[in-house]
Structure 1
Amino acid sequence: MRASRLPGSLACFLALALTAAGCGLSGGSDEGEATAGGCKVDKANVGSGALSGDVKGDITFQTTNLKKDFGDYFNGVIAAFEKEHPGTQVKWIDDPGDATFTQRLVADAQGCTLPDVVNINVNTAIALTKNGYLLNLDQKAPDAGKPFTAAMWKSSTYAEADGTKVHSVLPWYSGGIVQTFNTDLLKEAGLDPAKPPTTVLGLFDDAEKIAKASDGKYFAFLANPQHRIPADWQQMDIKVLSEDGKKFTFADDPKTVQWVEGMTRLYKAGAMPKDSLSSTQDPANVYGQGKLAYGPTNPNFLRFIQQNNPTVYEKTGVAPFTLDALGHTVGAPQYIGVASTSKNAVTALAFARFLTNAENQLAWAKDPNVVIFPSTTASLDDPFFQSVKGTDPFAEARKIVASDRKTATADEIALTPGELNAIVAQIQLAMQGKKSAQDALDEAQAKANKLIEQAG
């Protein structure tokens, strides 16, 4: 499975960088050693057979840009684990998550120094699993999936080098996906905020009405296709990739042409700011200025608007996302992986499971400074999620997300930055009227498939 469509991934380049390594797993020698990702490891870390042994000794745990705001929480979890398992010590590293994060993680993995327990996103999980750097939990911890919702556990699988899909990560927290909109602007355009669109093309129809009514004073959403690819295509049930994930197929579906033609029509009609076609500006900021009818889909964005643009926040409506055929997805899932190169895999696995258990996930989700949703069934059964109070936009968003969380999956497509850029560049040409939709898609698919071939 290739997964995650939402922006904000911290290590998108990993998929390209690591596939070049061509590493995998191999059996052990008589001396009790084996290899994982080209690194010498203990035989117990690879192959069949559950991990067993005493939970003791030192491990390293890495998160990404969490220490500043959640130091007390993580220090508490670490202290509780060390108390429960005397003789253990967890060293917490918090990577800043800056522009060089990917290069550092690649260097760690290829240098056989990946942290014992590491917080990773979808793109990183894909690359590390393929190259043998994460424990195969189906073999090393067969009961690992019990705490998690069935849908989340089932969908959180990634392919090893031979294409076999395995559970190599423990689901952790995720954001939500909702539809947000400026109710005043919708009314001004003759739209009913109580009847938001339920499909992608329905959203396009409403956007066209906004363009006609706004006269350039405000817009439906930003033009850059990178904000909508491949999310819209998945929602429209477009087959983005072949079954084995080795070839792009989106240009072969007439619905994709329909989507590009719709984006082109909206851009020409003025439903999007002309200067936003290739801009990297943040939609949250533009929405906060009262210039966009539709806002970002992450509920956390609502807190940003509440704090920085309270007037716009009061006008903001929230509704279920336009999921079409995609169904409910969790939105930017975060995982905990255990390095197959760990010299203390038993303790690392024990800590990973402790960190992601229902009690600890719920405790963090209740922190008023964070907007996250847990992955365990017991956490979601708590009244905190089952009896959400309030009628303001933020409370409404939490209600919507919490209502589908038990059936939400992680079935989302991931594109490497190179693939995304290649596709977006062609669609931008179509939106400018420089290419037909089909020609743009054919070229985009050819360029993206070439990148897959180069990555091996």
Structure 2
Amino acid sequence: MRARRLTGSLAGLIVLSLTAAGCGLSGDSGDGEATAGGCKVDKGNVGSGKLTGDVKGKITFQTTNLKKDFGTFFNGVIKAFEKEHPGTSVKWVDDPGDAKFTERNVADAQACTLPDVINLNKVTATALTKSGYLLNLDEKDPEASKPFVKAFWDSSALKDASGSDIHTVLPWYTGGINLTYNTDLLEKSGIDPEKPPTTIFELFEDYEKIAKSAKGKYYATMANPIWRIPADWQQMDIKVYAADGKSFTFADDPRTTEWVAWMKRLYQGGAMPKDSLSSSDDPSTPYGNGQVAYGSTNPSFVRFVKQNSPSVYDKTGVGQYPFDKLGHTSGAPQYIATAATSKNAPTALAFAKFLTNAENQLAWCKDPNVVIFPTTTESLDDPFFTAVTGNDPFSEARKVVAEQLKTATADEVVLSPAQQNAIVSQVQLAMQGKKSPEQAVKDAQDKANELLTQGS
């Protein structure tokens, strides 16, 4: 599966509903209380001034679908924190992370029952930040940025109710992207595996070479553009939204039409299986069977190939995914936030920082059951990433991703499911020759803007 830099979102609808409910921040009510998102909180949780108070008492910590596989690790972190801070108690709960994740957590926030420390994706964090439910770290802990890669911290700012950028989340673990390819199939097509393309269109040129060489015996990649929109456009530095976020602008860039024209040319020229245009299948299985030259861009995919297709693994190469016009990669880490509604905010913030510190991030990345990368500078500088030995594909993937994360950002372009589907469907029509690329791009932007206006 492609390391997706987009997330299905209910954020627009949710933010509108929260705003309509009168949520936000207010100051001291005169009795030592204030409000955050419509909930009564200690006045120290909101407004200006550093958060103060003893680190003690009970808090609740919520992760997203991690308890089954990583119980030993997180229980160890919790015990270490409780030992370091006598008198504290951390209750760990785990959300399943399904399609109702954002709705469920927004409902908890509105009911003033949001967990004290919570693992969030960007969509949910955006909604909760706009409505004042998360602790403003710029005010409450001005030095919170220190452990993190600067680019990740800078791009993790979210909009508050006034439209100002504030930090309410700590960047946590992240993935990355790289090219994974069958060196034999590339060489048969006259492509040098040691010289990966540096732009998206150069990658498309390689796809075309593969199609001409393979003549239907194998393919370059899968056809469904859902894995590439808006990720490719973002890497090309195509402005998907207007600066104010109130309209789509991708059709204004002629490279978008050129991108669609390339996708049509590749699909009709045999670079992609015809039956994969509307399939949700990623390249994992066909790559493992030697049916496509390029596999998933997710680094963990390399481990999948090693475990399931040893013969293909021996022919697998790993390279840098094209930076293109962006000049760096853009990813979407998971985040850790402290609820502004916490009744024990000093303890909650202390635990959030403990969980995301360099030592604990590195320790989790070393777990053999997971393929993730840290967001702290010290962790990425550890020999585990910088002194990887060997030239096997998995080692190469780790080196490639660790290096790119030092300059990566979390500038995630978020499309709602309806918006993404509307855009993808128009591109699919162009790929089938049922519309010109120019008309498909225009219609895609019109339909996406209509949905944006509706809050869908």
TM-score band by shorter chain is over 0.9
Counterpart position of 1:208 = 208
Is contact 1:11-1:102 (8 Å) kept?
Answer: no
Counterpart position of 1:104 = 104
SS of the aligned residue for 2:92 comes to: strand
1:371-410 equivalence runs, <5 A:
371-410=371-410
Is contact 2:6-2:412 (8 Å) kept?
Answer: no
The worse-fitting range, judged by mean Cα deviation, of 104-113 and 220-229 is 104-113
SS of the aligned residue for 2:119 comes to: strand
Counterpart position of 2:131 = 131
Is contact 1:61-1:115 (8 Å) kept?
Answer: yes
SS of the aligned residue for 2:312 comes to: helix
Counterpart position of 2:414 = 414
Q: Distance in 1 between matches of 2:277 and 2:170?
A: 38
Amino acid aligned to 1:195:
K
Structure 1 9/110 Cα, relative in aligned 2: closer, same or farther at 3 Å? farther
Give the alignment's Cα RMSD to 1 decimal: 1.8
Amino acid aligned to 2:16:
T
- Partner of residue 16 from structure 2, selected from 15, 19, 22: 19
1:282-361 equivalence runs, <5 A:
282-329=282-329, 331-361=331-361
Q: Distance in 1 between matches of 2:177 and 2:41?
A: 40
SS of the aligned residue for 2:435 comes to: coil
Counterpart position of 1:62 = 62
Structure 2: 5+ residue runs without aligned partners? none
Counterpart position of 1:440 = 440
The worse-fitting range, judged by mean Cα deviation, of 178-187 and 250-259 is 178-187
Is contact 2:246-2:452 (8 Å) kept?
Answer: yes
Matched, 1:33 2:33: yes
Is contact 1:10-1:102 (8 Å) kept?
Answer: no
The alpha-carbon deviation at position 137 of structure 1 amounts to 0.5
Structure 1 151/250 Cα, relative in aligned 2: closer, same or farther at 3 Å? same
The alpha-carbon deviation at position 14 of structure 1 amounts to 4.1
Matched, 1:45 2:8: no
The alpha-carbon deviation at position 107 of structure 1 amounts to 2.1
The alpha-carbon deviation at position 94 of structure 1 amounts to 1.3
Q: Distance in 2 between matches of 1:394 and 1:352?
A: 31
The alpha-carbon deviation at position 8 of structure 1 amounts to 8.3
Q: Distance in 1 between matches of 2:30 and 2:201?
A: 61
Matched, 1:192 2:192: yes
SS of the aligned residue for 2:237 comes to: coil
Q: Distance in 2 between matches of 1:253 and 1:11?
A: 24
The worse-fitting range, judged by mean Cα deviation, of 228-237 and 402-411 is 402-411
- Partner of residue 4 from structure 2, selected from 2, 7, 10: 7
Indicate the percent of aligned positions where both proteins have the same amino acid: 67
User: What are the Cα deviations for residues 148-172 of structure 1, in whole angstroms up to 9, with x where unaligned?
Assistant: 1222211211111221011110011
SS of the aligned residue for 1:90 comes to: strand
Structure 1: 5+ residue runs without aligned partners? none
Amino acid aligned to 1:357:
N
Structure 1 110/278 Cα, relative in aligned 2: closer, same or farther at 3 Å? farther
Q: Distance in 1 between matches of 2:229 and 2:13?
A: 19
SS of the aligned residue for 2:104 comes to: helix
The worse-fitting range, judged by mean Cα deviation, of 402-411 and 224-233 is 402-411
1:256-271 equivalence runs, <5 A:
256-271=256-271
The alpha-carbon deviation at position 6 of structure 1 amounts to 4.4
Q: Distance in 2 between matches of 1:10 and 1:113?
A: 25
The alpha-carbon deviation at position 211 of structure 1 amounts to 1.4
Amino acid aligned to 2:108:
D
Counterpart position of 2:236 = 236
The alpha-carbon deviation at position 424 of structure 1 amounts to 0.8
Counterpart position of 1:224 = 224
Q: Distance in 1 between matches of 2:215 and 2:280?
A: 24
Name the count of aligned residue pairs: 452
Counterpart position of 1:71 = 71
Is contact 2:427-2:441 (8 Å) kept?
Answer: yes
Counterpart position of 1:363 = 363
Counterpart position of 1:180 = 180
Structure 1 197/185 Cα, relative in aligned 2: closer, same or farther at 3 Å? same
Stretches (4+) displaced over 4 A: 8-11
SS of the aligned residue for 2:62 comes to: strand
Amino acid aligned to 1:122:
K
Is contact 2:27-2:46 (8 Å) kept?
Answer: yes
Amino acid aligned to 1:324:
D
TM-score (norm 2): 0.95
Q: Distance in 1 between matches of 2:433 and 2:7?
A: 33
Structure 1 261/330 Cα, relative in aligned 2: closer, same or farther at 3 Å? closer
Q: Distance in 1 between matches of 2:369 and 2:6?
A: 21
The alpha-carbon deviation at position 64 of structure 1 amounts to 1.2
Q: Distance in 2 between matches of 1:68 and 1:205?
A: 43
The worse-fitting range, judged by mean Cα deviation, of 95-104 and 7-16 is 7-16
Matched, 1:277 2:289: no
SS of the aligned residue for 2:325 comes to: coil
Is contact 1:191-1:206 (8 Å) kept?
Answer: yes
The alpha-carbon deviation at position 178 of structure 1 amounts to 0.8
Amino acid aligned to 2:266:
L
Q: Distance in 2 between matches of 1:170 and 1:449?
A: 32
The alpha-carbon deviation at position 132 of structure 1 amounts to 1.7
Amino acid aligned to 1:293:
A
Is contact 1:9-1:121 (8 Å) kept?
Answer: no
The alpha-carbon deviation at position 11 of structure 1 amounts to 6.5
